[in-house]
């Protein structure tokens, strides 16, 4: 590789405070430290105004170089002036004052052209050119950074920032849309849950009302059974909420025959129901009452119109089951007492071998009782109808009476009018 032909200053191996090399039209400065407070302050101030330190140092060197050149020119002017005085001095002595005066004017004119204080001097012109050039560079730099095309070095950065902001906005909008969808779904779930809870509360309230209604019917039946049992020396227990021998709770009232005066001779289980049961469900209740309460006989007490299909009231089934129908609001004691009597005799016969029950006579008595009860029911219904008819007749009579009073009043009015006219 050929050596560079550009003139270079020799290296300064003995200097340790930095190295300065002039290579052609360039200066290379390495590890040079300048101890000048004014220079350091100017560089720091220019950094505050947005100028890089290297830019400020470069400008300072350029301006300083021009100043040094101006100082050299001034020195040359002084030298020329001195030489002229030395050379022309002897001639002036010979030529007289005319030449001396001309010499002074020439020297003064020459010095004035390089005077640093003169507005049109070389130094002032150079300074103005530098100021204009620096202003032009600043204007071009500002224009370059403000342009929107690829000439702006910040164009890629600005585009990247715009893309990032736009992407962030789109991402936020997408997240907001997802949040709204999740919120709408959550609102729908809460609404559905509220509806389900409301329906559940209504169902529980309805069940509670039904349970209360059933409990009222159950308590009325137990109260009557307690009276019937007490009259016969038996004991009635309300055990509907207590688990029985098989941990079940069927058979709400348990009758212990003879327990009021001695040991229990036999047991009867009564289970009131205020809703209609199917025949299989009715048998499940009756058999459960026998098992849960350890009873010899079970009675299902049904409300009017709710006797299980294919069954009849006061008809015995399988020798240990009976169904009886009563009014739900005012259970007939005679009906319930008939069922109690039949169940009691069957339970005692099943427990006591020495008791011999005349089955045909018992059946005939029960049938006669049932027929009497049916007649009683028919009569009661007829009486109810008569009462309704009586109420209707009484209402009609009242209407007739009001009509008669009105007619009588009109008649009295006519008579009064006639008397007034005769007068």
Least confident of 260-264, 283-287, 307-311, 367-371: 367-371
Q: Is the pLDDT of residue 272 over 80?
A: yes
β partners of residue 323: 300, 315
| Residue 163 CA from chain centroid, whole number | 34
Residues 25 and 45 in one domain: no
Query: E-assigned strands of 157-278?
Result: 235-238, 253-257, 266-273
Q: Is the pLDDT of residue 359 over 70?
A: no
Residues 324 and 414 in one domain: no
Phi/psi for 345 (5° steps) reads -65, -40
Q: Is the pLDDT of residue 54 over 70?
A: yes
The residue among 20, 24, 43, 42 whose CA lies nearest residue 32 is: 20
Q: Which of 300, 321, 355 is the last residue of a domain?
A: 355
Element spanning 337, H or E = helix 333-351
Q: How far is CA 261 from CA 258, 284, 348, 350, in A?
A: 6, 33, 16, 20
Residues 230 and 332 in one domain: yes
Q: Which of 120, 143, 166 is the last residue of a domain?
A: 143
Eight-class DSSP state of 27: E
β partners of residue 256: 235, 267
Q: What is the pLDDT of residue 211?
A: 46
Least confident of 15-19, 111-115, 313-317, 361-365: 111-115
Residues 351 and 235 in one domain: yes
Residues 268 and 136 in one domain: no
β partners of residue 321: 298, 317
pLDDT tens-digit map of 208-255 = 454 444 468 999 999 999 999 999 999 999 998 888 777 788 889 999
CB 321 within 8 A of CB 286: yes
Q: What is the pLDDT of residue 342?
A: 85
The verdict on residue 20 lying in a domain is yes
Most confident residue range from 151-165, 250-264, 376-390, 402-416: 250-264
The verdict on residue 247 lying in a domain is yes
Q: What is the pLDDT of residue 121?
A: 60
Most confident residue range from 11-15, 74-78, 107-111: 74-78
CATH of the domain at 275: 3.40.1350
How many structural domains comprise the chain? Answer: 4
The verdict on residue 258 lying in a domain is yes
Residues 224 and 329 in one domain: yes
pLDDT tens-digit map of 162-184 = 777 777 778 778 877 887 787 78
Residues 28 and 50 in one domain: no
Mean pLDDT of the 106-122 span: 58
Residues 290 and 386 in one domain: no
Q: What is the pLDDT of residue 22?
A: 79
Q: Which of 83, 109, 143 is the last residue of a domain?
A: 143
Mean pLDDT of the 254-265 span: 92
Q: What is the pLDDT of residue 99?
A: 45
Least confident of 102-106, 162-166, 292-296, 298-302: 102-106
pTM of the model: 0.41
Q: What is the pLDDT of residue 234?
A: 94
CB 259 within 8 A of CB 307: no
The verdict on residue 169 lying in a domain is no
Q: What is the pLDDT of residue 1?
A: 43
The verdict on residue 246 lying in a domain is yes
Mean pLDDT of the 30-34 span: 79
What is the C-alpha end-to-end distance of the chain, expressed in Å? 167
Most confident residue range from 144-153, 289-298, 414-423: 289-298
Q: What is the pLDDT of residue 281?
A: 95
User: What is the domain extent for residue 41?
Assistant: 36-143
Element spanning 364, H or E = helix 359-422
Q: What is the pLDDT of residue 297?
A: 95
Residues 227 and 349 in one domain: yes
Mean pLDDT of the 390-407 span: 74
Mean pLDDT of the 69-98 span: 62
Residues 220 and 348 in one domain: yes
Per the model's pLDDT, the better-predicted residue between 101 and 137 turns out to be 137
The verdict on residue 418 lying in a domain is yes
Residues 337 and 253 in one domain: yes
Q: Is the pLDDT of residue 106 over 60?
A: no
Phi/psi for 311 (5° steps) reads -135, 165
Residues 230 and 312 in one domain: yes
Least confident of 42-46, 299-303, 352-356, 373-377: 352-356
Most confident residue range from 16-20, 347-351, 363-367, 368-372: 347-351
The verdict on residue 406 lying in a domain is yes
Percent of the chain beyond pLDDT 90? 20
Q: What is the pLDDT of residue 116?
A: 56
Across the chain, mean pLDDT equals 76
Mean pLDDT of the 39-47 span: 87
The verdict on residue 168 lying in a domain is no
């Amino acid at each position: 590789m050929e050596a560079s032909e550009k003139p270079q200053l020799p290296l300064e191996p003995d200097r340790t405070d930095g190295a300065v090399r002039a290579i052609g039209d360039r200066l290379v400065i390495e590890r040079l430290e300048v101890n000048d407070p004014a220079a350091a302050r100017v560089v720091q101030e220019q950094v505050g105004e947005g100028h890089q330190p290297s830019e400020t140092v470069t400008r300072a060197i350029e301006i300083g170089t021009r100043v040094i050149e101006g100082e050299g020119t001034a020195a040359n002017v002084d030298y020329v002036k001195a030489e002229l005085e030395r050379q022309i001095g002897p001639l002036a002595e010979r030529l007289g004052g005319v030449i001396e005066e001309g010499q002074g004017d020439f020297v003064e004119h020459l010095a004035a052209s390089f005077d640093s204080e003169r507005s049109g001097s070389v130094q002032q012109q150079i300074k103005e050119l530098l100021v204009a050039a620096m202003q032009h560079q600043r204007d071009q730099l500002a224009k370059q950074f403000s342009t929107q095309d690829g000439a702006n070095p910040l164009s890629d950065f600005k585009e990247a920032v715009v893309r990032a902001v736009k992407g962030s906005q789109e991402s936020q909008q997408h997240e907001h849309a997802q949040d709204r969808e999740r919120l709408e779904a959550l609102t729908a779930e809460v609404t559905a849950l509220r509806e389900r809870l409301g329906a559940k509360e209504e169902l529980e309230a309805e069940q509670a009302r039904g349970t209360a209604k059933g409990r009222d019917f159950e308590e009325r039946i137990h109260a009557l059974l307690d009276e019937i049992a007490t009259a016969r020396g038996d004991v009635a227990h309300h055990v509907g909420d207590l688990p029985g021998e098989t941990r079940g709770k069927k058979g709400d009232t348990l009758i212990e025959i003879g327990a009021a005066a001695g040991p229990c001779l036999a047991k009867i289980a009564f289970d009131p129901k205020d809703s209609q049961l199917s025949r299989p469900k009715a048998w499940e209740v009756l058999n459960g009452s026998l098992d849960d309460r350890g009873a010899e006989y079970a009675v299902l007490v049904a409300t009017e119109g709710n006797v299980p299909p294919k069954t009849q009231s006061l008809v015995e089934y399988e020798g240990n089951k009976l169904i009886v129908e009563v009014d739900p609001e005012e259970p007939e004691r005679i009906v319930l007492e008939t069922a109690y009597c039949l169940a009691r005799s069957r339970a005692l016969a099943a427990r006591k071998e020495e008791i011999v029950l005349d089955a045909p006579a018992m059946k005939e008595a029960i049938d006669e009782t049932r027929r009497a009860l049916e007649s009683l029911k028919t009569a009661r219904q007829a009486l109810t109808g008569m009462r309704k008819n009586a109420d209707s007749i009484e209402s009609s009579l009242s209407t007739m009476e009001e009509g008669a009073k009105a007619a009588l009043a009109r008649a009295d009015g006519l008579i009064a009018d006639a008397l007034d006219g005769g007068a």
